[in-house]
Amino acid sequence: MSLNPMISGPLYLPKATNALNEAEKLDPDNPRIYYLRGKSTMSTPKFIGGGKNVAIPIFEKALALFKTFKQKSTVHPGWGKEDTERLYKECKSDSI
């Protein structure tokens, strides 16, 4: 979406949002759902409800879930914690 946000955003953002909503219904304890929501929110313009300050509580939820997250098997995804921590710190440092 970042290549051409004026065209790609309205086209793909609803699809991405729907996919995350469906993922949350299937496994609300999956921290990557909130990581991806936070990442999207922090890059969404403030005038349409996004921004780094809005993303902070979403990243906090992801980090809380990562504390108890256990990868189901070696073939299940286990990524996201380090990126969540990095983006959370970025949002917090910009909000001071």
Query: What's residue 12's pLDDT?
Result: 87
Query: What's residue 1's pLDDT?
Result: 63
Model pLDDT for residues 13-39, shown as the tens digit of each residue:
889 999 999 999 999 999 999 999 999
Query: What's residue 96's pLDDT?
Result: 59
What single-letter DSSP state applies at residue 35?
H
Which positions ≥6 away from 46 have C-beta within 8 Å?
A: 54
Q: Which amino acid is at 24?
A: E
Contact 63, 32 (CB under 8 A): no
Confidence of residue 10 (pLDDT cuts 50, 70, 90): confident
Mean pLDDT computed over 49-54: 95
Which positions ≥6 away from 12 have C-beta within 8 Å?
A: 1
Retrieve residue 37's tokens: 């929501």
Query: What's residue 82's pLDDT?
Result: 97
Model pLDDT for residues 68-84, shown as the tens digit of each residue:
999 989 999 999 999 99
Query: What's residue 92's pLDDT?
Result: 94
